[in-house]
Amino acid sequence: MIKFIARRLMIAVVVMLGVSLISFSLVFFAPGNPAEVIIRAEIGEEPTLEEIEFFFQEHGLKAPFFTQCAQWLYMITHGDLGTSFRTEEPVLVEFIDRFPATLELAVAAMFIAILISIPLGILAAMKQNSVLDHGSRFVALWGVSMPNFWLGLLLILFFSVRLDLFPCFGYGGIEYLILPAITLGTGMTASLMRLMRASMLEVLRQDYIRTARAKGLMERVVIWKHGFKNALIPVVTVMGMQVGHLLAGAVIVETIFAWPGVGKFLVDGIYARDYPVIQGFILIIALFFVLSNLAVDILYTYLDPRIRYDVKKGMK
Amino acid sequence: MMSIVQQLKKDKIAMIGAVIILFLAGIAILAPHITPYDPIELDLENRLSSSDVNHLMGTDNLGRDVLSRVIYGARISLSMATVVVVIVMLLGIAMGTIAGYLGGIIDGTIMRVVDVLLAFPNIILALVIAGILGPSLTNVMIALSAIWWVGYARIIRGSVLSVKEKEFVEAARAMGCSDTHIAIRHILPNVLSPVIVLATLDMGHIILSIAALSFLGLGAQPPIPEWGTMLNEGRPFMETAPHLMIFPGLMIMVVVLAFNFLGDGLRDALDPRMKEVMMK
Amino acid sequence: MTLLSIQNLKVHFHTEDGAVRAVNDVDLVIEEGETLGLIGETGCGKTVLGLSILRLLSENTKVEGKILYKGKDLLKLNEGEMRKIRGKEIAMIFQNPLTSMNPVLTIGTQISEPFELHQGLKKKDAIQKVIAILKLVRIPSPSERINEYPHEFSGGMRQRAMIAMGLACEPSLILADEPTKGLDVTIQAQVVDLMKELTTNSKTSMLLITHDLGVAAELCDNIAVMYPGEIVEYADIKELFKNPKHPYTQGFLGSLPGRGLKPMNGMSPSLIDLPEGCKFHPRCPFARERCKNKRPEMVEIGKKHFVRCFLYD
C-alpha cells in the first residue's frame, strides 16, 4: 500500500516538475512587458527607460533563461513563490488569504452536485427508457452545455435584479453563496448524473445482481447494497477529476460574482500581467489537481477490494 | 458504418443535434447574404432598442443590430472551432502515433508532456496562455490548440499499442508493407470512431472555451461579433436591455447542446456495450 | 410427490438481432428428492429455462404456460410472494462464481444474507451459520475466510462458497446451472462429490443444468435432453445411456470420448432462426420429408422413456 502511494507520489513529483517548467517558460517567453504595466499603475504615467531598467534589475528579470529558471526552481522548492508585482505581498500569502473563499464555493457546488446527481442518476437507471430517464438525459446534456458564465448572468438577472432575492455579487453570508454555488455546480451535477446512470446500468446487468435477486432480496437492497458501491467506483474517479473543473469554473464564476477567491485574483493577475501571481497560482492549482487525483487513487483502493488485493500482491 | 447511420436516425436527440448544426452551419456560410444589417456598423440613433420589426433581436449599446451580430457570431464560432479541432486532431494523431509506434524515450517524453498538460484544467491553462500572449482571437486559438491535443494523442497511442502487437500487423510487416501503409490500413480504422465522437464533443467544448475566454476579455476584442464578447459588452446593460445577453448566450448554449446531442448519440451508436441485454 | 411441474412453458424475448424463442412448449416434472439433469449444448435455452422458474428474466421477456411449485403457479405470484420463494424455497447456484458473486462484499456478508432475510437472524447469529455451512462445503478455516472477498478465493473454493450460498436456507429445490463449468478436472470431481453428498442425504430436489454428461451421470436420477428450445428425450439415467432413442441423443453420446468420439454433422440452430418441423432434421441422418414440415410429438416408448421423433411413431 505504502509502495503504491509512493509510486503515485513519484509520478506526481515528475508532473509537478514539468508544470513548474511550463509555468516558468510561459512567462519567460511572454511577449508583453510587465514593467510598463506595473509602473504605470504605480506612478500613473508612462515609465521612462531608466525606470523600466530599474524594475528589471530589481526583479532579476535580466538573467539568462537557465539562471532564472534554476533560481525560480530553488525558490519554489523552498516555499517561496515570489512577490506579487501589484500588491508587493508574497504570492503564497495572497493565495492562502483567498483560498478559503474558493474552497467554500467549491464545496457548496460539489454538495449541490452530489445531492442531486446521485439519486437522480440511480433513479434514471432503475427506470431505464422511461420518461424520467429520457428527461434526465436531456436535462443532463443541457446542464453540461450551459455556459456557466451565461447561467451566472441569468441567475443574477432573474433572482437578484428582477426578484431581488439574493445580492448580485460580493461575499458574505449564505445569501451570497447560493447563486455562485448553483452556477458552479450545474455542470458537475449534469455530468455526474449521466455517469451515475451509466454506471448503475452497467452494474445492474452484472451476474452478481442476478445472484442477489435469486436470494429473494428486495429490489431496494439489491440496488443499494449490491449495486451502489460497485456503481460508485467510476463516479468517484470522475468526481476527483471534477475538482479541477471546479477550480476552472471557479475562475469564471468568481469573476462574475466578484467572489474574492483565488480564481478572481488569478484573472486580475492576468489582466495586470502580474507574472509571479500567474506562475505561483497555476503551480498551486496544478498541485491541487495532482493531489486530488492522488486522493482518488487511494479512495479507489478502499472502494474496490480487487485493487487493494492487487496492490498487496504487487508488494510481495 | 451504414448501421451506425441507421441507429443514429432512430436517436431523436442526436438527430435534433445534427439538424441544428446543419442549420447553424448554413446561416454561418450565408451570413453576408442573410443578415439585415452590417454587424459592426454603428447607429447611434437607435441604441438599446428592444425587439421590433426592424431589429428582431433589438440593438446594442452602440445601435448595432443584435440579430446580424448573432449570425456573424455563428460564422466566427463555428469556423474558429473547426480550425482548432482540425489542428488538435492532426497534432494528437501525429503525437499519439509517434509515441505508440516508436516507444522508448520518445514515448516516455510525449506521455510525460501529456501528463503535465492533464494536470491543468484545460480552461485555466488556456486562460494563462491567452492572457500572456495578449488578448486576441488568434491567441485564444493558439492557446487551445497547444493544450487540447492530449486527448487524441492518448486514444491514438493506446490503439497503436494494442494493434502493434496483433498478428495481422506482423504478417503485414513480414510481407514488406511500410510502416505508413500499416498505420493507414490497420490502425486508422480502429481509432476512427472514438476520434469522431471526441471531435464532435470537442467542437462544443471549444466553442464554449472560446466564448468563455472572450467573455473574460482575453479572446475576441470588440467590435468583433463573437458571442462571448457580446455577452461581456452587454453585461452593464443587464437591467435595461436584457436582450443583449440573452440572445448571444442562448446561441452558445444551443450550439454546444447540439454538438453534445450529436456526440452523445454517436457514442451510443458506436459503443457496442450499449446493446440491449437479455438478462435482468 | 411432485415438487415442480412445468407445463407448456414458452419463453420468448426480443433482442436487436431478432426474436429469440428460447423455450418452446416444455413439460417437465421434478419429484421430491429427485435430481433431474437438463442436458444440452450451449445456447439451447437451458439456462433461460432455469432462470424462468425463479422469474429472473428481464421484464420484456414473454413467459407463457404454467410453473407449478407445490401446486402454486409461480407465474401468477406477485413480486413480494416470489421473493419469499427465491433463496428460501428454490435457490439457484450459478455458473461462473467469479462474476456471480459481488466483488465488493465479503464472502461472509454474501452468504449470511439468506439467513438474515429468510430466517430473521441477526448478523451475528447468521455469521455463525455461515461458518457452519462453509465447514459443510469444506472450506478450510471458515471463520477467517468469511472476511475475504471472492477474488481472494480459488476457483474451486468460490464454487463451493456459491453452493453454500444456495444451500443456506435448506431449499426444497436447487437449480444448479453448470456448477462445474470452468473448473479443473480434479476440482470438478471434488465439487461433484460434494453435491452428490449434499443431495443424496436430504429430501432436496435438484435441477442440474449442464452440457457435461459425465457430471450428469454422477448426480442425476433422470435426464431431459434439450435441443434448441425443446425437450427431445426424457429417460432415467441408466436407460438413457444404455438405450438412447433420439438421433440427437445418439449423436451426442457418440461424440463422447468413451464412446467413439464421432462428431455430429452440422451445428445447432440459433434460437433466433429455428427450422420448421423437427428442429433436428437438418442434421439428422434419418430425416424424411415429413420431418421438415411437421413437429413430432413426445411419445412414450418404454417405461418413463419419452422421445420426440417420428422414427418411433
- Which residue of chain A is at minimal alpha-carbon distance from B238? A157
Percent of chain A with pLDDT over 70: 90
pLDDT band at A1 (very low <50, low <70, confident <90, very high): low
Q: Does residue B65 sit in helix, strand or coil? A: strand
Q: Is C245 domain-assigned?
A: yes
Q: Does B45 touch chain C if contact means CB atoms closer than 8 Å?
A: no
> Å from B275 to nearest chain C CA?
7
For residue C307, pLDDT over 80 is answered with yes
Distance separating alpha carbons of residues C244 and C66, to the nearest angstrom = 29
Determine which of B29-38, C63-72, C133-142, C296-305 has the lowest per-residue pLDDT on average. B29-38
State the pLDDT at residue A41.
63
- Note the pTM of the prediction, 2 decimals: 0.79
Q: Is C203 domain-assigned?
A: yes
Percent of chain C with pLDDT over 70: 100
pLDDT digits (tens, 9 = 90+) for B141-152: 999 999 999 989
For residue A312, pLDDT over 60 is answered with no
Cβ count near B50 (within 10 Å): 14
Question: For residue A51, what is its C-alpha cell?
Answer: 525606470
Average pLDDT, chain B: 83
Side by side, the strands of the sheet bearing C230-236 are C90-93, C173-177, C205-210, C35-39, C222-227, C230-236, C305-308, C298-302
Average the pLDDT over C194-198 and give the result: 84
Helices and strands of chain B, counted as H and E runs = 13, 0
Contact list, B276 vs chain C (CB under 8 Å): 14-16
For residue B34, pLDDT over 60 is answered with yes
Q: Tell me how many domains chain C contains.
A: 1
Name every residue whose Cβ is closer than 8 Å to that of residue A218 and which is 6 or more positions away in sequence: C83
Highest mean pLDDT among A42-56, A154-168, B117-131, B255-269: B255-269
Q: Is C166 domain-assigned?
A: no
Beta carbons of A142 and B257 less than 8 Å apart = yes
Cβ count near C275 (within 10 Å): 14
Q: Does A208 touch chain C if contact means CB atoms closer than 8 Å?
A: yes
pLDDT band at A36 (very low <50, low <70, confident <90, very high): low
pLDDT band at B26 (very low <50, low <70, confident <90, very high): very high
Q: Is C209 domain-assigned?
A: yes
Q: Does B3 touch chain C if contact means CB atoms closer than 8 Å?
A: no
The structural domains of chain B, with segments of one domain joined by +, span: 8-33+63-278
- What CATH fold (topology level) applies to the domain A98-271? MetI-like fold (1.10.3720)
Distance separating alpha carbons of residues C128 and C168, to the nearest angstrom = 12
State the pLDDT at residue A33.
64
The structural domains of chain A, with segments of one domain joined by +, span: 2-77, 98-271
* C267: CATH: 3.40.50.300
- Which residue of chain C is at minimal alpha-carbon distance from B280? C58
State the pLDDT at residue A32.
60
- Long-range contacts of residues A137-142, Cβ cutoff 8 Å, at least 24 apart: A137/A194, A137/B13, A137/B264, A138/B13, A139/A190, A139/A193, A140/A190, A140/A191, A140/A193, A140/A194, A141/A190, A141/A194, A141/B13, A141/B257, A141/B260, A141/B261, A141/B264, A142/A190, A142/B253, A142/B257
Q: What is the 3-state secondary structure (H, E, C) of chain C?
A: CEEEEEEEEEEEEEECCEEEEEEEEEEEEEECCCEEEEECCCCCCHHHHHHHHCCCECCCCEEEEEEEECCEEHHHCCHHHHHHHECCCEEEECCCHHHHCCCCCCHHHHHHHHHHHHCCCCHHHHHHHHHHHHHHCCCCCHHHHCCCCHHHCCHHHHHHHHHHHHHCCCCCEEEEECCCCCCCHHHHHHHHHHHHHHHHCCCCEEEEEECCHHHHHHHCCEEEEEECCEEEEEEEHHHHHHCCCCHHHHHHHHCCHHHCCCCCCCCCCCCCCCCCCCCCHHHCCCCCHHHHHCCCCEEEEECCEEEECHHHC
- Which residue of chain A is at minimal alpha-carbon distance from C50? A214
pLDDT digits (tens, 9 = 90+) for C86-99: 988 999 999 888 88
For residue C260, pLDDT over 60 is answered with yes
For residue B206, pLDDT over 90 is answered with yes
b (16+ CB within 10 A) / e for C162-171:
bbbbbbbbeb
State the pLDDT at residue B176.
74
Average pLDDT, chain C: 88
State the pLDDT at residue C175.
93
pLDDT digits (tens, 9 = 90+) for C29-39: 999 889 999 99
State the pLDDT at residue B275.
37
State the pLDDT at residue A68.
80
Chain B 134-163, residues with CB within 8 Å of chain A CB atoms: 134
- Closest Cβ opposite residue B119 in set A161, A209, A289: A289
Q: Is C233 domain-assigned?
A: yes
The CATH class of the B8-33+63-278 domain is mainly alpha
pLDDT digits (tens, 9 = 90+) for A121-133: 999 988 888 888 8
State the pLDDT at residue B238.
82
For residue B193, pLDDT over 50 is answered with yes
**Degrees to nearest 5, angle at CA A149 with A95 and B55:** 150
pLDDT digits (tens, 9 = 90+) for B150-183: 989 988 888 888 777 777 777 777 777 777 777 6
The amino acid that residue A106 corresponds to is A
pLDDT band at B254 (very low <50, low <70, confident <90, very high): very high
Q: Is C214 domain-assigned?
A: yes
Contact B242, B60 (CB under 8 A): no
Contact B147, B126 (CB under 8 A): yes
DSSP 8-state code for residue A84: -
Q: Is C298 domain-assigned?
A: yes
For residue A314, pLDDT over 60 is answered with no
For residue C118, pLDDT over 50 is answered with yes
> Å from A217 to nearest chain C CA?
7
